[in-house]
Amino acid sequence: MSAGWNTIESDAGVFTYLLDNLGVKDVQFEELISLDAEFLHQRGPVYGVIFLFKYPVGEKPRETPLDGVFDQDAAESRFFASQTIQNACGTQALLSVLLNKDDSIDIGPKLREFKDFTGAFPADLRGEALSNSELIRDVHNSFARASPFADEAQRLAIEEDDVYHFVAYTEIGGTLYELDGLQPAPISHGSCSFEEFPDKVIPVLQRRIERYPAQEIRFNLVAMVRDLRIRAREIGDQDWLYQEEQKRNAWQWENALRRHNFVGFIGETLKGVVRSKLAEGEAKYAEWVDEATKTTRTRLTERRKTKGGVSKEGEEVEEEQ
């Protein structure tokens, strides 16, 4: 097994530029804030969706899935790879959609070469090939958050841990498939055309979410769609085009920030502030500390009152995955 895969966020900007850096053309991701088929249709064509959820660590393997049926033949005839290493499931989910849509997406020469090379492999060897691909691993890791602290991601998870996992849903050859590298084969959810995908995937996702307690809201869903700037140019909507360009600029800025560790900067800034307060005298310094303590207590009290809100939990999902 390969090593050295870091955790990445479930973020539309991360996924868009990850594929862009792998040489994929005219694809982007859109975050879905509700299970709304009409929203998907409006952003079509939709190639697939990536679903992030809390993984039940203590759950034992099942001979049959809780929803749908295993399609053993599709494990060989479609691009399906077993997950053989930690932290790779996000990128693996993206590729599970992408490499099954290479008839309608320009996946670029590097991924074309990878798919051709692994085409005759069984699922477990495809997973090993993916895990050991320096190109895919290096691009994946370039979007990981910089951290000065020890990474415990390689230790085995225990039942008490909050562990998150990515799976992909896409239409392939007239069937709606769930592609999960931790399962023995693709899971078929019945017949589905490319045009029907937005309508048919939503009920599947709803059933998946309903397995969890009502208070569990830590899910994240992004759709793989055609670059929305193309549609904006086709219909001559300059305002929409401008919004999409601004979105891209914001994504690039956020991705650049992820590569930097700001702990040292914050530490030096804090030292400078403390020195300036001490220069005003110990009484002024003590007054400043007291005010800061009161402000912090007020914020903690307000946070406890609003704990469990959707926006707060949504932020946690993106960071804990």
Catalytic site residue 89?
A: yes
Catalytic residue among 89, 140, 189, 192: 89
pTM of the model: 0.77
Q: Give the list of residues 6+ apart from residue 115 with CB closer than 8 angstroms, or none.
A: 79, 99, 102, 107
C-alpha–C-alpha distance, residues 168 and 166, integer Å: 7
- Asked if the model's pLDDT at residue 118 lies above 80, the reply is yes
Catalytic residue among 41, 140, 165, 192: 165
Amino acid at residue number 113: E
User: What would the pLDDT profile of 216-230 be if each residue is shown by its tens digit?
Assistant: 777 889 999 999 999
For the record, the structure tokens of 293 come out as 């303590």
C-alpha–C-alpha distance, residues 213 and 83, integer Å: 27
* Arithmetic mean of pLDDT over the chain: 84
Catalytic site residue 189?
A: no
User: What would the pLDDT profile of 262-318 be if each residue is shown by its tens digit?
Assistant: 667 777 787 888 788 788 888 888 888 888 899 998 888 887 776 544 333 334 343
